[in-house]
Amino acid sequence: MADTAQMKVSDEVAISIQQMNKWYGAFHVLRDIDLTVYQGERIVICGPSGSGKSTLIRCINALEEHQKGSIEVDGTLLSSDLKNIDKIRSEVGMCFQHFNLFPHLTILENCTLAPIWVRKTPKKEAEETAMHFLEKVKIPDQANKYPGQLSGGQQQRVAIARSLCMRPRIMLFDEPTSALDPEMIKEVLDTMIELAEEGMTMLCVTHEMGFARQVANRVIFMDEGQIVEQNEPEAFFNNPQSPRTQLFLSQILGH
Are 235 and 5 contacting, i.e. CB atoms less than 8 angstroms apart?
Answer: no
Q: Does 166 bind another protein (CB under 8 A)?
A: yes
Whole-angstrom Cα distance, residue 77 to residue 237? 34
Toward another protein, which CB reaches closer, 33 or 88? 88
Toward another protein, which CB reaches closer, 172 or 216? 172
Q: Does 76 bind another protein (CB under 8 A)?
A: no
Q: Does 101 bind another protein (CB under 8 A)?
A: yes
Rule CB under 8 A: choose which of 112, 129, 155, 163 binds another protein: 163
Q: Does 117 bind another protein (CB under 8 A)?
A: yes
Q: How far is the CB of 162 from another protein (least distance, A)?
A: 8
The footprint of another protein on this chain (CB under 8 A) covers a number of residues equal to 28
Rule CB under 8 A: choose which of 90, 226, 230, 231 binds another protein: 90
Rule CB under 8 A: choose which of 22, 54, 66, 96 binds another protein: 96
Whole-angstrom Cα distance, residue 203 to residue 168? 13
Toward another protein, which CB reaches closer, 5 or 57? 57
**Strand pairing partners for 220?**
45, 230
Q: How far is the CB of 93 from another protein (least distance, A)?
A: 7
Toward another protein, which CB reaches closer, 63 or 249? 63
Q: How far is the CB of 91 from another protein (least distance, A)?
A: 8
What is the DSSP track for the chain?
A: -HHHHTPPP-S-EEEEEEEEEEEETTEEEEEEEEEEEETT-EEEEE--TTSSHHHHHHHHTTSS--SEEEEEETTEE--S-HHHHHHHHHHEEEE-TT----TTS-HHHHHHHHHHHTS---HHHHHHHHHHHHHHTT-GGGTTS-GGGS-HHHHHHHHHHHHHTT--SEEEEESTTTTS-HHHHHHHHHHHHHHHHTT-EEEEE-S-HHHHHHH-SEEEEEETTEEEEEE-HHHHHHS--SHHHHHHHHHHHH-
In the shown chain, the binding pattern of residues 40 to 69 toward another protein, with x for contact by CB under 8 A and - for none, equals ---------------------xxx------
Q: Does 94 bind another protein (CB under 8 A)?
A: yes
Name the amino acid, one letter, at 208. E
Rule CB under 8 A: choose which of 146, 194, 237, 244 binds another protein: 146
Q: Does 178 bind another protein (CB under 8 A)?
A: no
Binding site for another protein (CB under 8 A): 61-63, 82, 86, 89-90, 92-94, 96, 98, 100-104, 113-114, 117-118, 146-149, 162-163, 166
